[in-house]
Amino acid sequence: MSSTTPQSTTFDLTVEDSVGLTQILTQIDSSNVTLSTTPGAGEARIADFLVDWLNHRDIETHKIETVPGRPSVVGVIRGSGGGKSLMLNGHIDTVSLNSYECDPLSGHIAEKNGRPAIFGRGALDMKSGLAAEMAALAHIKANKIPLRGDVILAAVSDEEDASQGTQDLIAAGWHADGCVIPEPTNRVLINSHKGFVWFEIDVLGTAAHGSDPASGVDSILQTGWFLTALEEYQRELPVDDMIGPASLHCSLINGGEEPSSYPAKCTVTVEFRTVPAQTDESLRADLSNMLKEIARVKPTFRFAEPRLTLSRPSHKLPVEHPLVQQTAEIAREVYANDVSIESMAIWCDAALLSAAGTPTIVIGPAGQGLHAKEEWVDIGSIRQTEQIFVRLISNFCQ
């Protein structure tokens, strides 16, 4: 087949089982364009395949592309009316292929820990989850299962970096009465996770020749007072009953020009991992008050007001919420085992969707190797995820 043939046509559009779809999706390079030092292939080719796959089944299809080359795809099965709508949200981008040890696009099946698994970059994070969603959608369509509410497949771009896809999805008006994201949770049902917020703080000095201490003020040395105060503040961060303790760390520090000069500015980047009790405004106020207090007792201490550079909210859906309870009951039946309802340490698009009015949970396949040199997903867990989605759609969208 010539190299000019569209990527989407090189794969069998009739495939509907979650395992086969995981292999196909893993074989398509959709490494994130902006995440790594080496730009990836982007989401255009995998989006083309998804559009063709949905069109092949006569499923209503939309493409959202506010940033050229960063498309997201929406597929919809419309209900008859009067029922609850369910969104199945999954990201189509992966981290870089460069860190993968051997053949990142193979999608091959081999044994891992005595069980069959699919290998390749993104097989676990999260093309297997997306494949389970697609297979569930195909099952509902092929079997003409009657629904009153809509089922929405949202295959979104750029989750690994800036969540452009889900932000575009929300801005375009897509929402639902509930949403499931199949991030690889190892069969645990996630109802909450921390947010994260980045602040930059400039501590100001006075530039001067290194031989002229009477004129110079060392901003880097002055920053030590701020770091000591920050360490004290860290001990007072709130603890959430479900998510656990908030945290902070200094991610970056930058100051000075050359060894023989007093540095005029030192910039510290602080990342907060947040719980629902914290807001951007409360964190900014805490930092500002901390800096003012240092200046009150240290006359040479000067600073610029903290700059917020990125903010992502925390997420917490009550355990008692019907979506949590309904999914947990279905998962118990599928797994033939009790299901743990927990918070997770990492951030995902669930927070954006819930903040926009779509209650969201996270549950997905098992495996290992997120962003690592070898990545694999347990095949049995992919099929179980597909079964959960089929049953949840059938029950929720009534």
What's the pLDDT at 39? 87
Q: What was the pLDDT predicted at 279?
A: 97
* Integer angstrom CA distances of residue 144 from 78, 79, 139, 141, 393: 12, 11, 8, 5, 12
> Which residues of the chain are modeled with pLDDT < 50?
1-9
- The residues facing 12 across adjacent strands are none
Which residues face 166 on adjacent strands? none
**Which residues touch 330 (CB under 8 Å, ≥6 apart)?**
388, 391, 392, 395
Measured from the Cβ of residue 384, the count of other Cβ atoms closer than 10 Å reads 22
pLDDT digits (tens, 9 = 90+) for 12-22: 999 999 999 99
Q: What is the pLDDT of residues 180-218, one digit of tens each?
A: 999 999 999 999 999 999 999 999 999 999 999 999 999
The pLDDT of residue 10 = 81
* pTM, entire model: 0.92
